Amino acid sequence: MSDSREVVAAIDVGGTRIKAALVDRSYQQLTRITHRTPPDIAADIGSVASRIVSALLDQARGEGGEPTLVGCGMVVPGVVDERRGIGRLSVNLGWRDLPVAEPVGRALGIPATVGHDVRAGLLAESRLGAARGARNVVFLPVGTGVAGALMLDGRLVSADGWAGEVGHVIVDPEGSVCGCGSRGCLETVGSAAAVEQAYARDTGQRVGAEIVAGRAAAGEPEAAAVWARAVDALARAIATTVSVTGVDLVLIGGGLAESGDLLLAPLRRSVDDLLTFHRRPRLQRAALGDRAGCLGAACLTWEAL
C-alpha cells in the first residue's frame, strides 16, 4: 500500500551544504537528501528550492510513497526577518535583503515559510529534543563559527532578526580580528575553527578540533592550553548570557559538542566559577544534531498552515 501522508518540505540552507527532508505532521522524516550549496544561490533561490523539492518527491515515490506536499519551510543563516520572509544579511552566502519566502512559494505553488536556522533549531529542540519542557534556554551550536538562539518565558526571541549573535560577544579585546571586523569575538577563540587554527599556530599541525580535544585529555600541553582558552571563552560568553537573560538551560550543539564531556565537564566548572548569585543553568548537549534545522523548518511550516 502506498504512503499518501501530507508532508512539508523542510530545507536547511548552510554555507556549504543544504539539508532537506519531507516531514509529516508527527515530525517523522519520510526521506532526506543533502546537496552542496550553489555559490549563486541568491540569484534564484526559488529554482534551487524547486529542484530540491523535486528530488525529495522523486526519492519518496521511488520508495513507494505518494506524499501530498502542502507547504515548504526554508531556514537560512545570518540575520533573518522571519515576519517579512527576508534574509537581511548572510556574509557566507553573499546576500543582503534577499526575498526568500515569496520566490520559494511562487516556484513551488504552495505556502512557504522562512526562518533563522538556529532559532528554528531551538524550536525543534523545545518540541522534540533536549529543551522539551524548558522555558528559558540559550542554544549554542559551536562549529566553524558560534551561533546562538534564545527562548525566554517560553517564546523565541527574534528582535526583528538581530537577536542571538553570541559568537560576536567580545571575550578578548586584545584578541584576533574577527571576520565581522571587530576584535576578540567569541568565534575567534571558542569555535572549532579557532581551536584548529590556534593549535596549528602553536604546533605546526593542522588537525580537527576533536583531535585537539583528545590530545588535551591525554595531557599534551599545547593541546591543553588551546582547549582551555576555548573553554574559558565559551564560559565567559555563557555567563554573560545567563546574567543578562536568566536562562536556566544551555544547550551546546554543533561539531564541538561531539567531544561530549571533554567540552561539557570543564565548561560546567568554568561557568559555575564565573557566576555568583545567579541561578546555575544546566549545561547539556543538544539532542537533534544536524537534524535540528530541518525539523525546525518543519515546525515553523506546520504551525503556519
Distances from the Cα of 27 to the Cα of 8, 75, 260, 299, 302, angstroms = 10, 16, 26, 8, 9
Give the per-residue SS3 of 102-133.
HHHHHHHCCCEEEEEHHHHHHHHHHHHCCCCC
In this structure, are residues 42 and 76 in contact, taking their beta carbons and an 8 Å threshold?
A: no
- Type and span of the H or E element at 293: helix 292-304
- Type and span of the H or E element at 52: helix 45-62
In this structure, are residues 294 and 10 in contact, taking their beta carbons and an 8 Å threshold?
A: yes
Burial class of 133 by CB neighbour count within 10 A (0 to 12, 13 to 18, 19+): exposed
- Per-residue model confidence as pLDDT tens for the chain (305 residues): 355 689 999 999 988 899 999 999 999 999 999 999 999 999 999 999 999 999 999 999 998 888 999 999 999 998 999 999 999 988 778 899 999 999 999 999 999 999 999 999 999 999 999 999 999 999 999 988 899 999 999 999 999 888 999 999 999 998 899 988 899 999 999 999 999 999 999 999 999 999 999 999 999 999 999 999 999 999 999 999 999 999 999 999 998 898 899 999 999 999 999 999 999 999 999 999 989 999 999 999 999 99
**Coil, strand or helix: which one is 86?**
strand
Residue 5: count other Cβ atoms within 10 Å of its Cβ.
17
In this structure, are residues 188 and 175 in contact, taking their beta carbons and an 8 Å threshold?
A: yes
Strands 17-24 and 29-36 come out as antiparallel
58: left (phi over 0), alpha (psi -120 to 50) or beta: alpha
